[in-house]
Amino acid sequence: MTHQLIIGNRLYFSWSLAAWLMVDRFGLSDYVKTTVLYPATEDGVGALMTDYAPARTLPTMITSDGAILSDSMAIGEELASLYPNAGLWPAAPLARGTARALANEMHSSFRGLRAEWPVNLHRSYAPVQPSESIAAELDRLEAIWAHARAVTGQDTPWLCGDYSIADAIFAPMAIRLANYGFDTRPATKAYVAAHLADPALRRWRAMGLAANQTSKVFEYQGPTRPWPGPTPLAAEPVDTGTAENAACPYSGDPVTHLAEIGQRIFGFCNAFCRDKTVADPAAWPAFMTLYRR
């Protein structure tokens, strides 16, 4: 049973991130093939979707049965139905109901933040003065995130216990708040930090950086600052040297591309495998197993 997930540019397309996390975070990558599209503008998405009609937005998932799901919550609910043991929703009724309520509020609300503060995994910006409507949305996020943790009595980093669809849906919002420096309130600060440190989100960002499909159209115009997430291991691609490994840690294929990581030389089977690792080595368990030998 193989499904196809069509996503947008990993550096900017927020709902694509949410859908991909629903796959990666719940161990469903063996069942879902991912295709990345790079529209030049938001309006250019439809022109790239002709092979997937009637879908016209990203993300879109086409199930093995041919159902076309062009909505992130529809994708999440269908995955939860197809893989009921994967844990996409919490098992406990109180936690599950709370997670559903929060996920759907994110899906239908916070239009100001979504419109004015675009997601960007390429760079972050100096804090800006929020408008009155944006300030109200920031208040609402703190309120519902604190409520979820209090009512479910959880001590995990996530909203309703173990990571769920609700957390995948809110991951882009966490990036927004980090991007623009509004991750300072207690519940918000802890929750945003959890997302920035999440290896799955770090892998998504690393793949976006490796693809390097930046676009001025999707960039916010303002002073920049360093990325607020964990500082990656020092790494850079190199042209010469002798790799410690003969086979790529991801594919098992022979080494053709090199990188210096932690003052050691490692090899990879292609430029993308190398570059995604260089972007954030610690995000990749297969590489770190090799690195820690």
What mean pLDDT, rounded, does the chain reach?
A: 96
The CATH architecture annotation of domain 3-82 reads 3-Layer(aba) Sandwich (3.40)
pLDDT at 159: 97
Asked if pLDDT for residue 155 goes beyond 90, the answer is: no
Asked if pLDDT for residue 1 goes beyond 80, the answer is: no
Burial of 121 (0-12, 13-18, 19+ CB in 10 A): buried
pLDDT at 14: 96
CA distance 259 to 270: 11
Q: Which CATH number fits domain 93-201: 3.40.50.300, 1.20.1050.10, 3.40.50.720, 3.40.50.920?
A: 1.20.1050.10
Asked if pLDDT for residue 250 goes beyond 90, the answer is: yes
**pLDDT (tens digit per residue) in 44-79:** 999 999 999 999 999 999 999 999 999 999 999 999
**pLDDT (tens digit per residue) in 14-28:** 999 999 999 999 999
**pLDDT (tens digit per residue) in 198-245:** 999 999 999 999 999 999 999 998 999 999 999 999 999 999 999 999
Asked if pLDDT for residue 287 goes beyond 80, the answer is: yes
Q: What is the mean pLDDT of residues 186-194?
A: 96
Asked if pLDDT for residue 154 goes beyond 80, the answer is: no
Residue of 9, 15, 39 lying closest to 170 (CA atoms): 15
pLDDT at 129: 87
Q: Is 186 helix (H, G, I), strand (E, B) or coil?
A: helix
% of the chain beyond a pLDDT of 70: 100
Q: In this structure, what token pair is assigned to residue 79?
A: 């995955």
**pLDDT (tens digit per residue) in 75-131:** 999 999 999 999 999 999 999 999 999 999 999 999 999 999 999 999 999 998 899
CA distance 3 to 28: 10
Domain ranges of the chain: 3-82, 93-201, 235-291
